[in-house]
Amino acid sequence: MQLEGNIPGAGCAKIEISGEEITSVAITGPEKAGLPFLSPGFVDIQINGFAGVDFSSADLDVEEAIGVLPALWSTGATTICPTLITNSLPAMAKNFAILEQARAKNSDFAHAVPCYHLEGPYLSPFDSHGAHDPKWMRHPNWEEFQELQSAAGGRIGIITIAPELPGAEEFIGKARAAGVIVALSHTDGLPEDVHRAAAAGAKLNTHLGNGCPALLHRHKAPFWGQLADDRLQASLICDGFHLPPEVVKIIVAVKGIDKCILVTDAVHVALLPPGKYSLIGTDIELLPSGQVVRADRVSMAGSALTMNRGLAVFVKFSQCTLAQAIQAATANPAKLLGRSGVCSHVAPCQPANLVLFRQEADTLRIDGVISKGRCVYSA
């Protein structure tokens, strides 16, 4: 297969694909008018559901999980980390097992899903809990986590916890030794808790600027520790609701583009019409504006964001280049995951997971998507 497109920041390129790999990339000159942009497929490390499919639902089945792929491809995403949120241990184990069955049954799903993200249940039950149900929250427990890891076939690659909980540092050390990425969020702790977690091996802030108390102490808030600690990367939800432009710009200025990762934190209402829905027993609403909120309006409840729109909002809010935004949605999460089959750059020997798109004012319009060396979506 041959492709031609403009690689942001590099110029016009001709790409050769053989089998499931990129075999050659030739830059032929400056960007060429009329051609689409070309980049690695987008990597979303935090996605709770999509297009009517809720990965945490008690009704999740194998075919439903696999069936989410075409909708995801249409937004440019080729790699995702299905994310289970705080729930009972049996419910989480059941759904991890279903995701494993989906990987075993469908090679496209296995390729798109290198690992899973567990957000909870080791989170703060206080002001920062958001849409997570405090009744299922508990202190970090390594033996308990190993039971979930067994159900997940060893593929829980990221776990988000609150760093102030008793046992957090010990848990983080064991997770790091086991190759599990520890992220911090939904915390009511102090900056010192964040720094201790980073010293123990935590690597990431999950949706930085969210999962924290609505009102921040001017000095003693976990957000400041998360922002200041250079050992921690930051994921950002750029849907126009979770973070205002000023905060996005500050996070990028402090962390640097190399430590920023774009995520959607999408729930199952993404691509669905506005209306009232349920998220593990919590009533939520997708507003006509596109914002997802708890029915009681106490907090947001994930998002209806797609990666192609998140990239466009990130460019607008951060004032970074398109090439830098692409890095935050591809190379940075790919490096964090360190998993085979994830394309990080348009380069020889990389997996042939690519997206062709055109830049518009409020989104990236997807022309086509390549996964495992074959076209899986065409506009």
Does the domain spanning 41-343 belong to CATH 3.20.20.140?
A: yes
Above 90 in pLDDT, residue 169?
yes
Report the share of the chain in percent with pLDDT over 90. Answer: 96
**Which whole number is the average pLDDT over 95-100?**
98
Above 90 in pLDDT, residue 109?
yes
Q: What are phi and psi of 368, to 5 degrees?
A: -165, 155
Contacts of 63 (CB under 8 A, 6+ apart): none
Contacts of 344 (CB under 8 A, 6+ apart): 40, 330, 331, 334, 335, 350
- pLDDT of 67 reads 98
Q: Which residues pair with 37 in a beta bridge?
A: 6, 357
Q: Mind listing the pLDDT tens digit for each residue in 127-145?
A: 989 889 999 999 999 999 9
Q: Which residues pair with 300 in a beta bridge?
A: 293
Q: What are phi and psi of 79, to 5 degrees?
A: -135, 130
| pLDDT band for position 254 (cuts 50, 70, 90) | very high
Decide: 233 and 184 in contact? Cβ < 8 Å: no
- pLDDT of 122 reads 98
Distance CA 92, CA 114 (A): 18
Whether the model pTM is above 0.85? yes
Q: Mind listing the pLDDT tens digit for each residue in 302-326?
A: 999 999 999 999 999 999 999 999 9
Among candidates 153, 161, 236, 218, which has minimal Cα distance to 194?
161
- The 3 state secondary structure assigned to the chain is CEEEEEECCCEEEEEEEECCEEEEEEEEECCCCCCCEEEECEEEEEECEECCEECCCCCCCHHHHHCCHHHHHCCCEEEEEEEEECCCHHHHHHHHHHHHHHHHHCHHHHHHCCCEEEECCCCCCCHHHCCCCHHHCCCCCHHHHHHHHHHCCCCEEEEEECCCCCCHHHHHHHHHHCCCEEEECCCCCCHHHHHHHHHHCCCEECCCCCCCCCCCCCCCCHHHHHHHCCCCEEEEECCCCCCCHHHHHHHHHHHCHHHEEEECCECCCCCCCCEEEEECCEEEEECCCCCEEECCCCCECCECCCHHHHHHHHHHHHCCCHHHHHHHHCHHHHHHHCCCCCCCCCCCCCECCEEEEEECCCCEEEEEEEECCEEEEEC
Contacts of 89 (CB under 8 A, 6+ apart): 121, 144, 147, 148
